[in-house]
Amino acid sequence: VLRQLGEALDQVRRSEYARLTGPQRRFIKGQKYTLLARRENLKPDGRKSLRLLLAANKRLNTAYLLKESFGQLWDYAHPTWARKFFENWRSALKWQRLGPYEKFTNMIDRHWDGIVAYCQPENQVALGFVEGLNNKIRVIQRRAYGLRDEEYLRLKVLTCMLPEF
């Protein structure tokens, strides 16, 4: 989801670069990483160039602030509050004329059930655990030269996750 939002911000940056001419263009050139990175991950000189860029272009400033504020969605544990936050975020976008962001909101609407499912604490599984489990399943399948019975594979996966005595 955040990758799609970053791509929407990059499309706004490109359209602003194409729209502007002369000295205003130089603020935008070469600032892709500065815009897409989170503010706390930037070095001091990156923060300074971000401040200059956002002061020079109002549309980029609005798009950047919307991108940064969207990250709060993941803090909500209750679906109703997450939806309320998203509707408020969308209403802040309403009169900004940011086409890529409107496409992004449509994508969020289409996938809302999956996003809300992730917001619930019991569904937030570390990706390292998931990758490790996938690797163990591949090893089981490789060692067995393919399994013909799905139930047997399920049992093998469950037993490989049991603690050793």
State the residue range of the domain holding 32.
Answer: 2-123
Judgement on whether residues 118 and 134 belong to the same structural domain of the protein: no
Model pTM score: 0.70
The pLDDT of 1-18, averaged and rounded, is 86
Distance CA 105, CA 4 (A): 10
Judgement on whether residues 89 and 154 belong to the same structural domain of the protein: no
Residue 102 lies in a domain: yes
Judgement on whether residues 11 and 23 belong to the same structural domain of the protein: yes
CB 58 within 8 A of CB 97: no
The pLDDT of 125-144, averaged and rounded, is 83
Would you say residue 155 has pLDDT above 80? yes
pLDDT classification of 103: cutoffs 50, 70, 90: very high
Distance CA 24, CA 84 (A): 37
Would you say residue 87 has pLDDT above 90? yes
Residue 13 lies in a domain: yes
